[in-house]
Structure 1
Amino acid sequence: MQTRDIFANISPLDHRYSRDEDDYAEISKYLSEKATIALQAEVELALIKVLAARGLAPQTAPAEVEKAIAELTTAEVYAEEAKTKHNIRALVNCLQKKVSKKCRPFLHFTATSYDIVDTANSLRYQKTARELILPRLKKLHKSWAEIAFREKDRVQIGRTHGQHAVPITFGFTIAEYVARLGERIEEIEAKTDKLVGKFAGAVGAYNASSIFFDDPEAFEKEVLAELGLKAGEHSTQIVQAEPMTDFVHTLVSTFSVLAAFADDMRQLQRSEIAEIGEFFAKDQVGSSTMPHKRNPINYENVKSLWKAFMPQMTTVYLDQLSEHQRDLTNSASSRFIPELITALLSAVSRLTRVSSKMVVDQKNMQKNFEQNKKMIVAEPLYILLAAAGHPDAHEAVRKLTLEAQKTDLSLKELVAQSKELKGYWENFRDLQKEIILKPEKYTGIAAQKTEKIVKNWQKKFAYELQLEV
């Protein structure tokens, strides 16, 4: 049942790419403004807990603040901000109104606003990565691994520069993305763990906390430990920028892997290639005017989302710069990181859905391979001739390929007719001859490599695959 008017929103992430209510609610739990304020309040609670444990705040203060947070609404914080013109002061004022006079002085005690903001951001992006991004990426990864293993022996023509190259297998094509996405997932995990918080005060020198504590760094450590975070080695008024920059970079580079996969699969759906297809629903329409069309809309959508959000990485790099101990030039721009994450999650969901229903056209894959079957053995032929002692094997085979293009003869037949190459064929071993006679055998270790990659990541991510082909 629809509980929000998605069409009253401005961002297409709301009204077009998050129409699933359950999915929207799950993402909103981490990335909405409501979630932002809730996590900022959680940082204030962590401070109160440590102050109480150290004997400064009343022992009842943590329970009071916890109750106040439960009653807090985003709307009242925004109403207060309309008066204060300061978001964190508004949050503190709202919480202070809900607790006793004895507790009030210790809300935000020794803190600066970005002790709260930056720490809350690191906390929410850690939660988002661990509870949303990584599980969904691993689900997509599993889907690709299953396709790769299933198709590990299916011969496909390799393509470089848009031209037919030497044979591979379709499983090997997909295994590229199994490996690339697997490595990106590991990078996200690593950079998520490195997100840090701070509780070092207005310029990061612990000026306020050092008045009360002989060990202000230990105090900071205790506050952040309540949230499962660590402190950066050095902060100013803000957390050092690099951990967040590195984290977002891993998300953008992961998005790029998804876009590359989508583009490859989109190209394989071209009419003149048609080696795979997207599942097409019974009532789905491909074109407003051409009823026969079945456009690769899902893959195109993923590439289009990537085009919209990949450039945001430039803004994140720009946000590494802050004058002296702090300026406000990242205060607006950093608020758009949740949109990037939401777009990434949309792309992941779309690719997971379409990958699970990928249709492989075996006949077209074979037909495309057959197109240049007589030519694709040029590489092994030239290498075998060179190994047999021919002084200019590459040039000899190049001339044969030109001749083959003019005739219906295969390279093998032209070798047999060539006076220059007479005698070389007999020097080839039976297995080497078979590769020239049966180009479909010339796939190197594509199948074995695919299986190795799939099983490597299956072990790392500890998921079960249906490994029967």
Structure 2
Amino acid sequence: MTLLQAHPSSRSALPLSSAPCLDAAETTNGGAALPAAPEAGPWPSGAPPFDRTVSSRPGSDDEGGAFARGGFERPVDAPAPAPVAAVASSTTPTAREEPPAHASRTSETNQGLGATSPAASGLEPLHALSPLDGRYAAQMAPLRACFSEAALIAARAEVELRFLLALDPLGIFPPLSPEELARLAHLRETFGEAECRRVKELEATLRHDVKALELVLRERLGLRHPTMIHFGLTSEDVNNLAYSLLLSRFRDQHQVPLLRRLLGRLADLAEAGLAVPFPTRTHGQPASPSTAGKELAVFLQRLRRLLLRLTEFAFRGKCSGATGTYAAWMAADPHVDWIAFSCDFVQSLGFEWNPLTTQIEDHDGWAEFLNLTRQINNVVIDLDQDAWLWMMEGWYRQSADPAEIGSSTMPHKVNPIRFENSEGNLLLANALLGFMADKLCRSRLQRDLSDSTVTRNLGVALGHSWLGWQETLAGLATLQLDQARCLEAVRACPAVLAEPVQTMLRPVVDGDPYDRLRTLTRGRAIGLADLAAFIDRLEVDPDLKRRLRELRPETYLGEAVRLAASEIGEVRSLLGEVQP
């Protein structure tokens, strides 16, 4: 067995530009077989292992097929796709053909397609072009249901099928029969690997991915009036809604839950250090002390506010035809209120309706979402960098895994690699997200294609972001507050008491006490005795003098404990946790 053959399960890792759909449900209707329903083609659990052979044929995404980038090239010895004309003219149900040999389902060992030559497959992590699908393939596995070719095909199919259901009651076509409705419901449940492969097979000839999907839906549904499918739609009507389905799925199923976990862990750490005196630095120099809990509560508040905005964010969508005028629908039936129909349909998908667009939805909403993600990333980067410095100073330490190695030559090392890895991934993500937020808001005249290849990389940008959050969460799990070291660092700089002393003296002494304390402390190493001698020389009320002499760095904490406790309570409430 070779090294590559020793890890067959890794070949199921579908790149984030080619994601899976959900497993198919059983073909039943109250225990009875559905009428004329095609054979189900479910995937096994996990990502479908599509062969990632690189296509040599040029393509141009939606208007000419994403074939080269999608990597669903037909091997030279595979059967040719069915004639397009025959598919397009089909008006009767067709039996599902057996998939070609190269499209067989995964084996029980999950070796997947092309397992005999893993070195040639982009699915083998050792040969993946992107570290998201290589080094971090296992961590990224959940996102393949959101960001990849198969996920996009499935989301487009969902839009097309739901549009068909919305169109049916208008009476433009004869109503769908109970048998047709049953087949449609069945296809929504079972749309999977076989359908995605068929789409890519037709796309190889058509050079248009959305049209290929339309023809596959005709094949699978076998409607009496197949031209109902994609009626009056342009590709971008389908695409903008499909991508928003995927983005909202990512937000709801992955992004928000992970951010909530991050908040929960931060709240635990803040609670543990609620009243623990903690050294601070402004400009890298000692400053007025705080508590460990309050410093973590700063990040809690920032992330809590952003979590609320993320949770409440509403994606937008359009469905208005080739140039946003509803003209094709109006030509077909001017008696229908197509504007109201479009609004109802878009809102039925869970999106805000955008009534006024060119061919494409303006993507301003996507830009807001990407920038919101960038803002969260920036807060997490700030946390990463502060945690790194806290560990450098020894105020926090990491629990050491005895199985790990920190350095190839220095045996003692316990490095903050989780926070460093998070920072690197988030900086990379922000570069991509910023570019995408800028680019996707611009399109020449009614539409150009330059946005399409950018949109296909949403999973790359958001994948690096999600990976960064995971790494920060893993790093926080290792943090342990060193209370003794913190107290020692706070006590080591009595000069920080110059602030409360000069503030307390301002109302009661002549001249500017700030200048007097500046002369005493700035650039000098002073101790508590030096500060006490200064206080003794003051001609002030004895009670005030007593209060001044009682000042200590470790008790000069202001409202730090109260502030932290309040924010921890807000977070616990948001997370639905019972406060101890």
State the TM-score, normalizing by the size of structure 1: 0.91
- How far is 1:173 from its partner? 0.8
Map 1:93-104 to 2 at 5 A. Answer: 93-100=215-222, 102-104=224-226
Secondary structure at the aligned position of 1:14 is classed as coil
Which residue of structure 2 aligns with residue 366 of structure 1? 487
Which residue of structure 1 aligns with residue 556 of structure 2? 442
Residue 202 of structure 1 contacts residue 237 of structure 1 at CA under 8 Å; is this kept in 2?
yes
Distance 2:211 2:483 in 1: 64
- How far is 1:229 from its partner? 2.6
Which residue of structure 2 aligns with residue 128 of structure 1? 250
Distance 1:442 1:378 in 2: 11
- How far is 1:2 from its partner? 2.4
Secondary structure at the aligned position of 1:166 is classed as strand
Are the structure 2 counterparts of residues 277 and 103 from structure 1 closer, same or farther at C-alpha, using a change threshold of 3 Å?
A: farther
Distance 2:527 2:543 in 1: 26
Distance 1:99 1:132 in 2: 33
Distance 2:133 2:204 in 1: 25
Higher helix share goes to which structure? Answer: 1
Distance 1:425 1:282 in 2: 59
Which residue of structure 2 aligns with residue 105 of structure 1? 227
RMSD: 2.1
- How far is 1:404 from its partner? 5.4
Matched, 1:7 2:126: yes
Matched, 1:81 2:203: yes
Secondary structure at the aligned position of 1:298 is classed as helix
State the TM-score, normalizing by the size of structure 2: 0.74
Are the structure 2 counterparts of residues 252 and 62 from structure 1 closer, same or farther at C-alpha, using a change threshold of 3 Å?
A: farther
Residue 404 of structure 1 contacts residue 414 of structure 1 at CA under 8 Å; is this kept in 2?
no
Which residue of structure 1 aligns with residue 330 of structure 2? 210
Matched, 1:357 2:511: no
- Which AA in structure 2 matches 1:262? D
Equivalenced residues, count: 452
Residue 388 of structure 1 contacts residue 427 of structure 1 at CA under 8 Å; is this kept in 2?
no
Map 1:183-262 to 2 at 5 A. Answer: 183-191=305-313, 194-211=314-331, 212=333, 213-262=335-384
Secondary structure at the aligned position of 1:152 is classed as coil
- How far is 1:431 from its partner? 4.5
Residue 495 of structure 2 contacts residue 526 of structure 2 at CA under 8 Å; is this kept in 1?
no
Which residue of structure 1 aligns with residue 403 of structure 2? 283
- Aligned pair partner of 2:164 in 48, 53, 69: 48
Q: Which moved more, 1:249-258 or 1:308-317?
A: 308-317
Secondary structure at the aligned position of 1:2 is classed as helix
Map 1:257-272 to 2 at 5 A. Answer: 257-270=379-392
- How far is 1:314 from its partner? 2.6
- Which AA in structure 2 matches 1:405? A
- Which AA in structure 2 matches 1:51? L
Residue 318 of structure 2 contacts residue 355 of structure 2 at CA under 8 Å; is this kept in 1?
no
Matched, 1:32 2:148: yes
Secondary structure at the aligned position of 2:451 is classed as coil
- How far is 1:415 from its partner? 3.0
Are the structure 2 counterparts of residues 354 and 250 from structure 1 closer, same or farther at C-alpha, using a change threshold of 3 Å?
A: same
Which residue of structure 2 aligns with residue 463 of structure 1? 577
Residue 156 of structure 1 contacts residue 167 of structure 1 at CA under 8 Å; is this kept in 2?
yes
Secondary structure at the aligned position of 1:277 is classed as strand
Cα deviation code 1:67-118 (max 9, x no counterpart): 4453553222222222111111111122222232524111100000000000
Distance 1:361 1:18 in 2: 35
Are the structure 2 counterparts of residues 463 and 344 from structure 1 closer, same or farther at C-alpha, using a change threshold of 3 Å?
A: farther
Distance 2:459 2:524 in 1: 57
Distance 2:221 2:577 in 1: 48
Residue 404 of structure 1 contacts residue 411 of structure 1 at CA under 8 Å; is this kept in 2?
no
Distance 2:526 2:312 in 1: 56
Cα deviation code 1:211-236 (max 9, x no counterpart): 32520012212322442233114222
- Which AA in structure 2 matches 1:265? A
- Aligned pair partner of 1:90 in 204, 212, 219: 212
Matched, 1:317 2:438: yes
Residue 195 of structure 2 contacts residue 216 of structure 2 at CA under 8 Å; is this kept in 1?
no
Distance 2:476 2:151 in 1: 32
Distance 2:338 2:408 in 1: 66
Are the structure 2 counterparts of residues 281 and 425 from structure 1 closer, same or farther at C-alpha, using a change threshold of 3 Å?
A: farther
